[in-house]
Amino acid sequence: MADASSIRAAAVLPGATGRMASSIRYSNNEAWLATGTQWSPLGRVVLSLPGVAIPSNAGACVFIADRPYQLVSVTRAFAVQSTGAATLNVVKVADGVDSGVTSTAMIAAPVSMQGTAHTLAAASLSATAANSVMATGDRLFISTSAAVTGLAGANVTVVLHPV
Q: Which domains does the chain have, with CATH numbers?
A: 7-41 (no CATH), 45-162 (2.60.120)
In this predicted structure, what is the pLDDT of residue 123?
95
Which residue ranges in the chain fall short of pLDDT 50?
A: 1-3
In this predicted structure, what is the pLDDT of residue 19?
54
Q: Where are the beta strands (DSSP E) in 10-163?
A: 24-27, 30-34, 39-41, 45-50, 59-64, 69-77, 87-93, 104-105, 111-112, 121-122, 133-134, 139-144, 155-162
Helix (H, G, I), strand (E, B) or coil at 106: coil
CA distance 83 to 146: 10
Question: Which 8-state DSSP code applies to residue 97?
Answer: S
Q: Taking the model in full, what pTM does it have?
A: 0.73
Q: Report yes or no: 90 and 74 within 8 Å, Cβ to Cβ.
A: yes
In this predicted structure, what is the pLDDT of residue 3?
46
In this predicted structure, what is the pLDDT of residue 94?
92
